[in-house]
Structure 1
Amino acid sequence: MSIRNILDEIIEDSFPIYFNGVDLSQFFYIKSDNGRAIYGREVELFSVPSRPGALIKGVKYPPRTITMEVLFACDSAEELRKKLEDLNDILSLEEPAPLIFHDEYDRTYYAISERVTEGYEWNGFHVTTITFICPDPHKYGHENKENFVNGLATVRNNGYREAAPVFEIEVLEDITYMDIICSDAYMRIGEPVTVEQTPIQREEVVMNYKADNTTGWTTGTDVDGGVPAGNFQTNGFSLNVQSYGTGSTWHGPTIKTSVPQAPLQDFIAEFLLGFPSTSYDKRSRVEYYLLNDLSDAIAKVAMKRIGNEGLGNTVEIRLGGGLDTEFLYVGKGEGAGTAWADFRGIMRIGRIGNEWFFYVAKFHPETGAHVNRMYRTYTDAELRFTGNLSQIQLHAGQTGTVPTEAVNIDDVLIKRVNTVTDNQVPYIAYAGDIIQIDMRDSSIKINGEYRSDLKDFGASFFMLPKGKTDLVLEPSTKLSGKVTFRERFL
């Protein structure tokens, strides 16, 4: 069959196919596709001795495979090569992406390209078969949304399968618990207060610095491996470096201030910062020193790029100072060492009794969820690091005249941790917080941070059955929100 006959056969039946928002029909004509018709299941059987046949053990729904036989038709071999390059880039994703066909415009598959079977190629023409794998075999309808009104919402799932809801709840008043209830299941985080109990603010904010000024801050006196120099400036919501000053070793602006209501024994210190990764040649560091009333360090957390380590940023966690120190962590996170590259996120350190803990996470640029997370703990069994927290010192550093990244220091939040007695129940969320319960991946987040530790033992991540479901949100006067879900089909 000639190329012209092939084109005459398939152009009339061509239609758009969107993968990750890109119309693939601009690259090729589709001749045929498979994998979207009757979906086959896998039936697991087991045999019983002395009994004919078998019994059904279960039914599995394997990943869906979608294949497309396509034709590239270009004016020249050179144009074909460029189109193939562009398409390779579009298909080279690490996670499944939306795949939408013109004849099912209201359904979405989630697919990842797996392999390509090459056919013939001649001049600017090329025939090939592209295979997509859908780890989740379902296809999804458009998103449905219902708001809670006075703590009530009614949803209707018109799909052919159960649907996984996502609840996004805004806290209007401080709460000790939250319930989401349907007819045969519930989700609870926290604990309600009985008539014999009182709520308590376990984590009490004593300092909430928004980096909007430097009033009350003085020049710091000591930094590791260098000297204070230069100065910070603020743009109204973030500190950045106006000048690093000069020096042959580490040098840069260093300021400190007293912590209100100090000294603190049990505390949590949170630091928001930005640490870009724009060049392999740049070196920088941002350090937070926790000081006692004598300005001696009781702990330090830092993010830095100090050597030939690519674009990855190193996190350092150290307890103590001077001759008695303990490094809890020095590293670049999991993976290839770029977990905290182009960092905008949070570093947290705290102590309760003789237990120290540290947390670092990057903010997802689109959702704000905490990603590339790391958590470390340390038991100070010998009581070496018991000094009270009285001051906070901020430092940004440059080494010699080596170019630096445009680092910035955002919020500094210090909390005193209060003791909770048997007749007290701690608040779990405060006015303005956003709680997300995602039944798709069984996750609980507050302001983007995973908080599965708050889940009640008997609670479950439930699905919405086909048909109508009534939902109840409690305490209704202290919460508002919505539920979203997508109907599922095979």
Structure 2
Amino acid sequence: MKSELNFKIIKDGQTFDMHELGIWVESFHIHSPNISRSKLNVPGMIGAHLASTEEGERQVSIGMQIETDSMLEFDQLKHQIYDLFYSVESFSIVRDLTPDQEIFVFQEGEYDIDNIAPEDGKFGLALTMLDPYKYGKEKIKEFASDAGIITNEGTAESEPIFELEVLAPVTFALIQNQHGEYMLIGTPVDVTSEVVDTKTLLLEERGQTLDTWDTASDSIDNGYVDGTFGTDNDGITVPSYGEDTTEKDWHGPGLIKEVPVAQDFEVEAMVQGRTTETSQTFRIEVYLFDEGMNELGKMAIKDDTLGIHRKKGEGRLGPYVGANENYLISSQNYSYDQDYFYGMLRIRRVGKEIMFYITRVNSSGRHVQTILRKFIDNENRYAGKLKYIQIHIGKFADTDRAYAPKIDHIKVFQLAQVTVDQTPYIADVDDIITFDHVNEEILINGEARNDLKAFGGLFFTLKKGENHLITHPANSFRTTGRYRPKNR
């Protein structure tokens, strides 16, 4: 028999059912909202003015019993309960009575499990809701046009997430409600301003035109070129690394491609690699050269550690001259112990500023484990015009082959600097702009772009009832809104 007040704890990606653990829920009580008000008294006036209202944390009181078959089982379950309710971060509770609602709680203070019998016990537990709301399941609303209505079914205001799929290049993106609250990024175009695209695509390779590339020389770090690249029609793969060797060298295929000369540029590579065993190694590298074949820099992701899965990033200025020399990104500031990496390597130069960017992209498309480093080349040491791109995927000596390291795509753009009478595009067709009012983040294709937020833009809430929303510019977006109803 299961208690009608039974509940589940969701913690660290796992779900724990009290009934299945042998815990009988005797009582479960969520205390009322905790409201504090600040008042202003005015001499000669009866009563007071309400200055402000704040909603504080709430308490949850739970009474439980446990029944076991022995004192040993009692002691084991007791400490399992202690561990279950302790958490550095808040954990969630879902009650069987209201399976469509979730609360987030912390355990504070101490409590004990009193023996009813040597094998049985009961205890009361006080939990704190720092976030004082009960959350419903996520609601999704797709706009039929530039305008949409989202009806907030909760009893409190809720923070939305808007996703705008770009249908035409835009210089700005705005979403506004009927109360005049809005979120805006970019710049609307003045009649006297010229709209410009600051990025011109010079090269895009996804594996289908590798026959137009040339075999690279041995201008790769600590190794030599061998083996062949291939394609699965969705990226660049490695059918062969060449013959294994006991020499302490990297080896694998390398190709080089001439691109239209560019002074200001951006090179982006989406890459992935997995090590299923800790004896496997791989590296994926992108090299940049100027007109005189002088190396401008390199970006890479690699796993060269045996006995553990460890992915390291690299971003270097110029050629290899020694360990940690001229590296803005290295294992010293980018190293994660995980078996799989899927993400982006990017290097950008505008004027004298050189920027290296590495990020992992998670399953929802967001950039996580991100690093950005900048260098100002005041001495013009790396100022040559970009002319050649080289790619390389390798493994170390005779170590085991990693599982399918791959370059999904590599893109090269020429960049143009904007003048005072020009307005640049901020997003292109198929880009996804995300206004995340929950976490107060602005994303373009998963990358944080809060720097584009215009003065006056606000992370607003959905009010109770109908929220009338509109996007600008017209006919530029396919919009979806998501939110979780909040109830007191």
Instruction: Give the TM-score taking structure 2 as reference length.
Output: 0.86
Residue 402 of structure 1: which of 391, 399, 402 is its match?
Answer: 399
**Aligned-partner Cα distance in 1 for 2:294–2:182:** 50
Aligned to 2:327: 327
How far is the alpha carbon of 1:363 from its aligned partner?
A: 1.1
Which amino acid is 1:457 matched to? Answer: F
Residue 175 of structure 2: which of 177, 180, 184 is its match?
Answer: 180
Residue 63 of structure 2: which of 69, 89, 105 is its match?
Answer: 69
Confirm or deny: 8 A CA contact 2:238 2:253 kept in the other structure.
no
Aligned to 1:251: 250
Residue 380 of structure 1: which of 370, 377, 380 is its match?
Answer: 377
Aligned to 1:318: 316
Call closer, same or farther: CA 1:255–1:141 in 2, change over 3 Å. same
Residues 1:219 and 2:215 aligned together: yes
**Aligned-partner Cα distance in 1 for 2:203–2:55:** 53
Call closer, same or farther: CA 1:249–1:89 in 2, change over 3 Å. farther
Q: SS at the partner of 1:476?
A: coil
Mapping 1:84-123, distance limit 5 Å: 95-111=89-105, 117-120=111-114
Which amino acid is 2:212 matched to? Answer: G
Call closer, same or farther: CA 1:189–1:113 in 2, change over 3 Å. same
**Aligned-partner Cα distance in 2 for 1:206–1:390:** 11
- Bigger drift between 76-85 and 453-462 goes to 76-85
Confirm or deny: 8 A CA contact 1:115 1:130 kept in the other structure.
no
Confirm or deny: 8 A CA contact 1:252 1:395 kept in the other structure.
no
Aligned to 2:233: 236
Confirm or deny: 8 A CA contact 1:333 1:372 kept in the other structure.
no
Residue 467 of structure 1: which of 465, 468, 481 is its match?
Answer: 465
Unpaired segments of 5 or more residues in structure 2? Answer: none
Q: SS at the partner of 1:331?
A: coil
Residues 1:202 and 2:198 aligned together: yes
Instruction: Give the TM-score taking structure 1 as reference length.
Output: 0.85
Confirm or deny: 8 A CA contact 1:213 1:234 kept in the other structure.
no
- Bigger drift between 94-103 and 194-203 goes to 94-103
How far is the alpha carbon of 1:466 from its aligned partner?
A: 2.5
**Aligned-partner Cα distance in 2 for 1:404–1:47:** 76
Residue 18 of structure 2: which of 11, 14, 24 is its match?
Answer: 24
Call closer, same or farther: CA 1:289–1:84 in 2, change over 3 Å. farther
- Bigger drift between 462-471 and 76-85 goes to 76-85
Aligned to 2:164: 169
**Aligned-partner Cα distance in 2 for 1:297–1:331:** 21
How far is the alpha carbon of 1:346 from its aligned partner?
A: 0.9
Unpaired segments of 5 or more residues in structure 1? Answer: 1-10
How far is the alpha carbon of 1:485 from its aligned partner?
A: 2.1
Confirm or deny: 8 A CA contact 2:275 2:281 kept in the other structure.
no
How far is the alpha carbon of 1:468 from its aligned partner?
A: 2.7
Q: How many residues are treated as equivalent by the alignment?
A: 473
**Aligned-partner Cα distance in 2 for 1:41–1:129:** 25
Mapping 1:448-463, distance limit 5 Å: 448-463=446-461
How far is the alpha carbon of 1:128 from its aligned partner?
A: 4.4
Confirm or deny: 8 A CA contact 2:18 2:25 kept in the other structure.
no
Residues 1:14 and 2:9 aligned together: no
Aligned to 1:148: 143
Aligned to 1:8: none
Call closer, same or farther: CA 1:322–1:374 in 2, change over 3 Å. closer
- Bigger drift between 437-446 and 98-107 goes to 98-107
- Bigger drift between 91-100 and 175-184 goes to 91-100
Q: SS at the partner of 2:330?
A: strand
Mapping 1:270-281, distance limit 5 Å: 270-281=268-279
Q: SS at the partner of 2:390?
A: strand
Which amino acid is 1:107 matched to? Answer: Q
- Bigger drift between 105-114 and 419-428 goes to 105-114
**Aligned-partner Cα distance in 2 for 1:317–1:346:** 12
Which amino acid is 1:257 matched to? Answer: I
How far is the alpha carbon of 1:425 from its aligned partner?
A: 1.3
How far is the alpha carbon of 1:110 from its aligned partner?
A: 2.5
Mapping 1:245-394, distance limit 5 Å: 245-247=243-245, 248-260=247-259, 262-307=260-305, 310-321=308-319, 326-331=326-331, 333=333, 337-338=335-336, 342-365=340-363, 367-394=364-391
Tell me the alpha carbon deviations over residues 148-173 of structure 1, each in whole angstroms, 9 at most, x when there is no partner: 23311123334332221211111111
- Bigger drift between 420-429 and 172-181 goes to 420-429
Confirm or deny: 8 A CA contact 2:78 2:113 kept in the other structure.
no
Confirm or deny: 8 A CA contact 1:355 1:380 kept in the other structure.
yes
**Aligned-partner Cα distance in 1 for 2:474–2:267:** 32
**Aligned-partner Cα distance in 2 for 1:239–1:38:** 59
Confirm or deny: 8 A CA contact 1:252 1:397 kept in the other structure.
yes
Q: SS at the partner of 1:108?
A: strand
Aligned to 1:38: 32
Call closer, same or farther: CA 1:400–1:129 in 2, change over 3 Å. farther
Which amino acid is 2:482 matched to? Answer: T
How far is the alpha carbon of 1:135 from its aligned partner?
A: 3.0
Q: SS at the partner of 1:453?
A: helix
Identity %: 25
Tell me the alpha carbon deviations over residues 304-356 of structure 1, each in whole angstroms, 9 at most, x when there is no partner: 2334684332212111116596221222547xx52776221111111001100
Which amino acid is 2:397 matched to? Answer: G
Which amino acid is 2:249 matched to? Answer: W
